[in-house]
C-alpha cells in the first residue's frame, strides 16, 4: 500500500478568517460534512478568539455542537490564549492548536504579547491539561513566522529551535511549523525541519505553508524529503495572514492532494468531490481570491488514486 500523507483542512479557520462576509453556521457545517465525505480526516474547524477581533468565529460554540456529526474526523480549534483554550474545551473540543509567534514584532501585533510572554501563556495552557477539564486535551503548538516575518524580516533559526525545544519539553503534543507569511523556500525548509524532527523526538510535526510567492508545493516536497507527513491546506487556497499584504493564501488542498497522489502517496481524498464543494464555497463567500491549478485545468486523464 502507498504511504499515507494527511492533509488537515484549515479552510474553515485560516481560510475564512479575513473573508469579507460572515459565513453562517449552516454553510460551515455543510463545508465540514462534505469535506468529511470527500475523505478529509483532519480539520481545523474554528477559532476561539474574541468575536470583536474576528467576527467570523462568533459562532464557534454553536458550530462545536455539531462535533458528534463529524465522526471519524479529528476536529481541532485554534486558540490564542488560555481563555480560548478553556472555551474550546468547554465547547467539546479535545484537539487544541495554540499559536506562538517566534517573531517578536508579529507576536506583539497579532496577540499583543512578546514571544516570551506567549511561552508563559503556553505553560498556563499546559497546566490546564492537568485538570479534569483538560485531561483529554491534545495540544498542538504552531510556531508562527518560522521562516521570516513581514514586520521583523529575518527570524533566526536558532530562535525557532530554542522556542521549539521549550514547547516540546514543556508539554506540546505536536509541533506545527508555520511559514505564516510565505517567505520559505525548499532549501530553507530542509535546513529548518531536519533539526526540528529531532527536537520533536517522536511528536508529530505538521507543516503549515502559504503559497504567497508560488513556492508552497515545492516546500511540501522538501518537507516530505525530511519525513513530514502532515500538512495544513485550504480549499481553493483561501486564507492568509493579516500581516502579509498581498498574500495569496494557504497551499491549496486540491492541488496538494493531486501532487501527493501523483508522487505515489495516498491521501484518501476525492479531489473531484472537493472541486464540487469548492464551487459552492465560492458562491457562498462571493468576492474572495480563489487559487488552484486543478480547478482551472482539471485532473489529467492519466490520474489515478493510490490506496
Distance CA 38, CA 246 (A): 30
- Determine the angle formed by the axes of helices 253-262 and 216-225, rounding to 10 degrees: 40
Q: How many other C-beta atoms are found inside a 10 Å radius of the C-beta of residue 41?
A: 17
Helix (H), strand (E) counts: the chain: 11, 8
Residues with catalytic function: 241
**Closest of 186, 190, 248 to residue 218, by C-alpha:** 186
- Those residues whose C-beta lies under 8 Å from the C-beta of residue 222, and which sit 6 or more positions away, are 186, 187, 189, 190, 193
Burial of 205 from C-beta contacts in 10 A (0-12 / 13-18 / 19+): buried
3-state secondary structure 219-237: HHHHHHHCCCCEEEEEHHH
**Gap between the Cα atoms of 291 and 248, Å rounded:** 8
Amino acid at each position: 500500500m502507498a504511504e499515507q500523507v494527511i492533509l488537515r483542512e484549515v479552510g474553515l479557520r485560516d481560510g475564512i478568517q479575513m473573508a469579507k462576509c460572515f459565513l453562517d453556521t449552516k454553510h460551515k457545517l455543510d463545508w465540514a460534512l462534505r469535506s468529511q465525505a470527500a475523505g478529509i480526516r483532519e480539520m481545523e474547524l474554528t477559532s476561539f478568539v474574541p468575536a470583536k477581533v474576528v467576527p467570523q468565529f462568533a459562532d464557534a460554540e454553536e458550530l462545536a455542537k455539531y462535533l458528534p456529526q463529524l465522526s471519524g474526523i479529528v476536529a481541532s480549534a485554534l486558540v490564542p490564549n488560555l481563555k480560548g483554550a478553556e472555551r474550546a474545551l468547554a465547547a467539546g473540543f479535545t484537539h487544541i492548536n495554540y499559536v506562538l509567534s517566534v517573531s517578536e514584532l508579529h507576536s506583539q501585533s497579532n496577540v499583543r504579547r512578546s514571544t516570551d510572554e506567549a511561552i508563559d501563556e503556553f505553560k498556563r495552557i499546559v497546566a490546564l491539561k492537568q485538570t479534569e477539564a483538560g485531561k483529554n486535551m491534545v495540544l498542538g503548538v504552531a510556531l508562527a513566522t518560522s521562516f521570516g516575518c513581514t514586520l521583523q524580516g529575518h527570524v533566526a533559526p536558532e530562535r525557532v529551535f530554542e522556542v521549539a525545544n521549550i514547547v516540546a519539553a514543556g508539554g506540546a503534543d505536536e509541533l506545527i511549523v508555520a511559514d505564516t507569511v510565505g517567505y520559505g523556500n525548499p532549501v530553507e525548509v530542509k535546513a529548518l525541519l531536519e533539526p526540528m524532527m529531532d527536537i520533536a523526538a517522536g511528536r508529530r510535526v505538521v507543516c503549515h505553508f502559504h503559497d504567497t510567492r508560488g513556492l508552497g508545493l515545492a516546500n511540501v516536497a522538501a518537507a516530505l524529503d525530511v519525513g513530514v507527513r502532515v500538512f495544513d491546506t485550504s480549499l481553493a487556497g483561501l486564507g492568509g495572514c493579516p500581516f502579509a499584504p498581498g498574500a495569496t493564501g494557504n497551499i491549496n488542498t486540491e492541488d496538494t492532494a493531486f501532487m501527493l497522489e501523483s508522487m505515489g502517496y495516498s491521501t484518501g481524498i476525492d479531489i473531484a468531490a472537493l472541486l464540487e464543494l469548492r464551487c459552492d464555497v465560492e458562491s457562498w463567500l462571493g468576492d474572495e481570491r480563489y487559487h488552484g491549478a486543478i480547478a482551472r485545468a482539471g485532473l489529467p486523464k492519466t490520474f489515478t488514486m493510490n490506496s
